[in-house]
């Protein structure tokens, strides 16, 4: 019987040590987030121990005004995001007894964003937006408070392309894009 306890102890120690070496992103996480400029529903699916694919659908918010419009107005429009995330410090956090719950960690990502000209919700009528595609490498952090509440901070710089020919312009427009996000959310 002593030998059985010794063997089980060695196996348990080996499994625990191996788990410490291979901290992993969670298999699948669903949640909702909000920030200064919108609300989004997301899913993160594990691709490997340190890579998750985040897919997201939501409504981005904008404000506009100026000489043509007398007041400051708001607009809501749909957006689709696909973002592979590399969580590069999960092992370090796990070995330091810091939480990696709900993929709490620092990440590098490549955010692919598509904004269709599907519909808009605005404070005035007859407003539309151009289709937009952006590709932005990002750095960010994600942390979980309790079991379900999360917050994220991320920053990146890349490019954005506006598809303007459908509005009578002679060419489409490409520009440098800065992406800065601060979000709070709830995961299920």
Taking residue 10's Cβ as centre, other Cβ atoms within 10 Å add up to 10
Find out if CATH 2.40.160 is the number for domain 2-187: yes
Model pLDDT, residue 187: 96
Nearest to 77 by CA among 136, 134, 135, 128: 128
How do residues 73-96 score in pLDDT, each as one tens digit?
Answer: 889 999 999 999 999 999 999 999
Mean local confidence (pLDDT), 153-173: 87
Model pLDDT, residue 21: 59
Mean local confidence (pLDDT), 8-37: 72
Mean local confidence (pLDDT), 175-183: 96
Whole-number Å distance between alpha carbons of 40 and 36: 12
User: What is the token pair recorded at 161?
Assistant: 């392309």
Residue 72 sits at φ, ψ, to 5 deg, of -80, 130
């Amino acid at each position: 019987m002593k030998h059985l306890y010794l063997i089980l102890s060695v196996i348990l120690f080996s499994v625990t040590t191996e788990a410490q070496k291979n901290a992993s992103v969670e298999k699948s996480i669903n949640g909702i987030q909000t920030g200064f400029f919108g609300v989004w529903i997301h899913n993160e699916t594990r691709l490997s121990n340190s890579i998750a694919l985040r897919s997201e659908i939501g409504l981005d918010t904008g404000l506009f005004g100026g000489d043509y419009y007398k007041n400051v107005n708001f607009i809501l429009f749909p957006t689709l995001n696909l973002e592979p995330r590399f969580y590069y410090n999960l092992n370090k956090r796990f070995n330091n007894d810091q939480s990696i719950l709900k993929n709490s960690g620092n990440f590098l990502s490549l955010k692919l964003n598509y904004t269709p000209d599907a519909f808009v919700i605005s404070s005035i009528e007859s407003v539309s937006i151009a289709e937009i595609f952006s590709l932005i490498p990002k750095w960010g952090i994600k942390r979980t408070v309790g079991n379900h509440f999360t917050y994220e901070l991320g920053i990146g710089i890349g490019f954005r392309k506006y598809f303007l020919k459908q509005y009578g312009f002679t060419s489409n427009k490409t520009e440098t894009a800065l992406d800065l996000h601060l979000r709070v959310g709830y995961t299920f």
